[in-house]
Chain A
Amino acid sequence: MNQETNVQEKEARVRQPWTAQRVGDILLNNALLIIMAIAVVYIAIKNPNFIKPASLINILSQTAAYLPAALGIGGCIVLTGTDLSAGRAVGITACISASLLQNAANMANKMWPQIGTLPIPVVIVLAMLIGAAIGCFNGFFVAKFKLHPFIVTLGTQLILYTVLLLYVQQGNNKGMAISNLDPSYTGFVKGSLFSIGGTPIPNYVLFAIVLTAVMWFVWNKTTFGKNMFALGSNEEAARVSGVNVFGVTVGVFALAGAMYGFTGFIEGARIGSNTANTGLNYELDAIAACVIGGVSFVGGIGKIRGIVIGVVMLRLIFVGLTMVGVPQDLQYLIKGAIILFACALDMRKYLVKK
Chain B
Amino acid sequence: MKKTLAILLSAVMMLGLLAGCGSKTTEQPSTSGTENTETAALNVGVFYYDYSDVYISSVRSSMDEQLKAMGVNYTNYDGAGNQAQQTDQINTAISNGANLLIVNIVETSSPDAAQNAVEAAKTAGIPIIFFNREVSDDVVNSYEKCAFVGTNAPEAGHMQGQMVGEYLLENYDTVDLNGDGVISYVMFKGQEGNAEAEARTQFGVEDANAVLTAAGKPELAYYNASATDKYLVDQGGKWSAQAANDYMATILPEYSEANGNMVELIICNNDGMAEGAVSALQGAGYNTGDGKTIPVFGVDATDSAKQLINEGKMTGTIKQDAEGMASTILNLVSSVQGGGNLMDNTSSFNVDEGVAKIRVPYATYTGE
Given contacts A50-B96, A324-B21, contact A179 B110 (CB under 8 A): yes
A267 to B112, CA, bound (A): 13
Contact: B3 with A328, CB < 8 Å? no
Residues of chain A with a CB closer than 8 A to B97's CB: 49
Beyond A38-B14, A46-B25, A179-B113, 12 additional pairs, beta carbon < 8 A: A21-B4, A24-B7, A38-B18, A49-B95, A58-B91, A319-B92, A322-B77, A322-B93, A323-B32, A330-B24, A341-B10, A341-B13
Q: Are B110 and A180 in contact (CB under 8 A)?
A: yes
User: 9 A-B contacts, Cβ less than 8 Å apart?
Assistant: A17-B3, A24-B3, A47-B31, A55-B96, A177-B112, A275-B107, A318-B92, A322-B89, A348-B6
Q: Which residue of A lies closest to B29 (CB)?
A: A325
B interface secondary structure, majority: helix
What is the total number of residues of chain A having a CB less than 8 Å from a CB of chain B?
A: 63
Report the bound CA distance from A276 to B234 in whole Å: 12
Q: Does A29 contact B (CB under 8 A)?
A: no
- Tell whether A337 is near chain B: CB-to-CB under 8 Å: yes
| Contact indicator per residue, chain A 138-163, by CB within 8 Å of chain B (1) or not (0) | 00000000000000000000000000
B304 contacts A by Cβ under 8 Å: no
Given contacts A58-B91, A275-B237, A334-B21, contact A35 B110 (CB under 8 A): no
The residues of A that contact B361 with a CB separation of less than 8 Å are none
Alpha-carbon separation in the docked complex, A230 to B85 (Å): 37
Taking the closest CB of chain B, its distance from the CB of A347, in whole angstroms, is 13
Q: Are B110 and A267 in contact (CB under 8 A)?
A: no
A208 to chain B, nearest CB (A): 15
Most chain B C-beta atoms within 10 Å of own C-beta, residue among A54, A55, A62, A324: A324
Give a binary string over A157-183; 1 marks a CB under 8 Å from any B CB, 0 the rest: 000000001000000000111111100
Asked if B261 CB lies within 8 Å of chain A CBs, one says no
Give chain B residues whose Cβ lies under 8 Å from the Cβ of A48.
32
Interface range on chain B (Cβ under 8 Å from partner): 35 or more
The answer to whether A46 and B237 have CB atoms under 8 Å apart is no
Given A277-B81, A277-B236, A341-B10, are A49 and B96 also a contact pair (CB < 8 Å)? yes
The answer, yes or no, to whether A345 is at the interface (CB within 8 Å) is: yes
Q: Are A49 and B32 in contact (CB under 8 A)?
A: yes
Given A323-B92, A326-B25, A330-B24, A271-B31 contact (CB < 8 Å): no
Q: Does A233 contact B (CB under 8 A)?
A: no
- Check A325 against B28 for contact (C-beta < 8 Å): yes
Q: Give residues of chain A (241-300) contacting chain B, Cβ–Cβ below 8 Å.
A: 267, 270-273, 275-278, 280-281
Write the chain A residue with the least CB distance to B32.
A47
Q: A324's contact among B25, B92, B107, B112, by CB below 8 Å, is which?
A: B25
Report the minimum CB–CB distance from A109 to chain B (whole Å).
8
Known: A55-B96, A176-B109. A20 touches B28 (CB 8 A): no
Chain B residues closer than 8 Å to A337, beta-carbon distance: 17
* A177 & B7 in contact (Cβ 8 Å cutoff): no
CA distance in complex: A324, B93 (Å): 11
Chain A hits for B24, CB < 8 A: 325-327, 330
Contacts of B107 in A (CB 8 A): 177, 271, 273, 275
Report the 10 A-B pairs with minimum CB-CB distance, sorted nearest first.
A179-B110, A272-B112, A177-B110, A179-B112, A55-B95, A177-B109, A325-B25, A273-B113, A54-B95, A273-B107
Query: Which residues of A308-325 have CB atoms within 8 Å of chain B's CB atoms?
Result: 318-319, 321-325
In the complex, A46→B89 CA distance in Å?
A: 19
Q: Known contacts A17-B4, A267-B84; decide if A327 and B28 are in contact (CB<8 Å).
A: yes
Which residues from B are CB-within-8-Å of A338?
Answer: 17
- A328-B32 CB under 8 A given contacts A24-B4, A275-B109: no
Say how far A15's CB is from chain B's closest CB, in angstroms. Answer: 12
- Interface readout for B19-39 with A: 1 if CB under 8 Å, 0 if not? 001101100101110000000
When the two chains form their complex, are residues A270 and B84 in contact, meaning their CB atoms are under 8 A apart? yes
Contact A326 B21 (CB under 8 A): yes
Please tell me if the beta carbons of B51 and A328 are within 8 angstroms of each other in the complex. yes
Task: State whether the Cβ of B341 lies closer than 8 Å to any Cβ in chain A.
Answer: no
At the interface, yes or no: B137 with Cβ under 8 Å from chain A? no
Cβ of A329 and Cβ of B91 under 8 Å apart? no
Q: Does B176 contact A (CB under 8 A)?
A: no
Residue B192 is within 8 A (CB to CB) of chain A in the complex:
yes
